[in-house]
């Protein structure tokens, strides 16, 4: 295309180039892209792939959607990539969650800030859990917290989020509620995704997993993991009703992890509304309700301006909480 323009007269080339630059990031008319900011198998990967499949099934996008895994820094590598390399790409959505707003709140995204992107929608909530291998000596949450009170360093946790991230925060909040004083002595090892963290746990290298229900569910169903607690207000419905809450075990911690998307910060209002409208239609569909039920997601929906306000408020709230735990830079 550039070579073609070079052969045109200058007076002709300039208008054509202007038209081209104005239309590079039009509302998607072809293939679209979803960035999952982690290795395959984790919650962000699940978000991209399940939404891509459902959007295609419902004919809500003009062509196929590709999932691209961009792991690193608990979403920070993907955030920086979008901000620097694809700031106005209107064919792109990026999987996000409470882990994203947590890292932004703690200023962990290399000068990244909540205003650098446009928050599109949340399409469900995935509640936090603590799980152990099936043969673990810890039979319930109380057993595990008793061990932490005795010696905070004797229980090691794996998670698919960096140290100080939302997975880590769940353990710290529960331990603080239980009266553990030396929170910094609790061992937490971070991996690129929840599935990798669980694999390391099952390999006998750690004692417990902290993450989200969708990451652990298949391992629970296979008999490899046992759930000690879910950080929900009350027991979950249906087949998940057997999982005890932390609250009913005396630990008043609720940790929902919303799952949704942001768009590059430079997209047009037209493209932003295009994506919001399609994600709203997806959320309202029977097909998406089935995906949620099958994977342990609970109803939680915000979009457009409501999602923008929610993300900004969550960053503010998590920053205050992280500051009280000494986790903010």
Nearest to 112 by CA among 323, 311, 317, 326: 311
3-class secondary structure, 186: coil
Domain ranges of the chain: 31-126+257-324, 127-255
CB distance 210 to 168 below 8 Å: yes
Using the CB atoms, write b or e for 34-60: b if 16+ within 10 Å. bbbbbbbbbbbbbbbbbbbebbeeeeb
Q: How far is it, in rounded angstroms, from Cα 325 to Cα 303?
A: 31
Query: How does strand 117-133 pair with strand 298-303?
Result: antiparallel
Answer yes or no: same fold for 31-126+257-324 and 127-255.
yes
Angle 237-242-243 from CA coordinates, rounded to 5°: 90
Q: Name the strand (E) or helix (H) holding 117.
A: strand 117-133
What residues contact residue 229 under an 8 Å CB cut-off, 6+ apart? Answer: 129, 130, 140, 141, 174, 243, 244, 245, 246, 249, 251
Q: How far is it, in rounded angstroms, from Cα 209 to Cα 217?
A: 12
Q: How far is it, in rounded angstroms, from Cα 43 to Cα 98?
A: 11
**Two tokens at 66?**
């590709």
What does pLDDT average to in each consecutive run of 10 residues of the chain (329 residues)?
Answer: 31 33 60 95 92 98 96 94 97 96 92 96 95 97 98 96 88 94 94 92 96 91 97 88 96 93 97 98 98 88 97 92 78
Residue 185: per-residue pLDDT = 94
Residue 219: per-residue pLDDT = 95
Specify the CATH superfamily of domain 31-126+257-324.
Bordetella uptake gene, domain 1 (3.40.190.150)
Residue 41: per-residue pLDDT = 85
**Two tokens at 178?**
């239980």
CA 197 to chain centre: 15
Using the CB atoms, write b or e for 121-159: b if 16+ within 10 Å. bbbbbbbbbbbbbeebebeebeebbebbeeebeebebbb
Find the length of the chain: 329
Q: Name the strand (E) or helix (H) holding 276.
A: helix 269-284
CB distance 128 to 231 below 8 Å: yes
Sign of CA dihedral 151, 152, 155, 156: negative
Residue 81: per-residue pLDDT = 97
Which numeric CATH code is attached to 127-255?
A: 3.40.190.10
Q: How far is it, in rounded angstroms, from Cα 107 to Cα 124?
A: 25
């Amino acid at each position: 295309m550039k070579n073609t323009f070079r052969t045109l007269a200058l007076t002709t080339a300039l208008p054509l180039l202007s038209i081209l630059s104005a239309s590079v990031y039009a509302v998607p008319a072809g293939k679209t892209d979803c960035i999952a900011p982690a290795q395959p198998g984790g919650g962000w990967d699940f978000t991209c792939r399940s939404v891509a499949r459902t959007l295609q099934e419902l004919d809500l996008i003009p062509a196929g959607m590709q999932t691209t895994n961009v792991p690193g820094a608990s979403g920070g590598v993907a955030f920086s990539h979008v901000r620097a390399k694809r700031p106005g790409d209107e064919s792109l959505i990026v999987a996000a969650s409470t882990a994203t707003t947590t890292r932004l709140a703690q200023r962990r995204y290399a000068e990244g800030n909540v205003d650098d992107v446009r928050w599109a929608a949340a399409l469900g909530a995935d509640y936090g859990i603590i799980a152990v291998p099936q043969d673990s000596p810890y039979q319930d949450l109380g057993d595990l917290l008793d061990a932490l009170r005795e010696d905070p360093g004797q229980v090691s946790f794996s998670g698919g989020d960096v140290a100080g991230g939302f997975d880590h925060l769940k353990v710290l909040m529960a331990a603080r509620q239980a009266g553990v004083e030396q929170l910094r002595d609790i061992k937490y090892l971070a991996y690129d995704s929840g599935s990798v963290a669980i694999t390391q746990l099952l390999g006998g290298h750690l004692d417990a997993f902290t993450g989200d229900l969708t990451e652990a569910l298949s391992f629970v169903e296979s008999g490899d993991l046992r759930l000690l607690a879910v950080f929900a207000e009350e027991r979950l419905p249906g087949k998940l009703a057997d999982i005890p809450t932390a609250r009913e075990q005396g630990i008043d911690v609720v940790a929902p992890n919303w799952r949704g998307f942001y768009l590059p910060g430079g997209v047009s209002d037209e493209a932003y509304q295009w994506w919001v409208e399609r994600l709203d239609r997806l959320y309202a569909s029977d097909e998406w309700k089935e995906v949620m039920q099958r994977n342990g997601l609970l109803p939680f929906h915000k979009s457009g301006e409501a999602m923008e306000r929610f993300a900004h408020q969550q960053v503010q709230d998590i920053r205050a909480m992280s500051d009280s735990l000494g986790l903010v830079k």
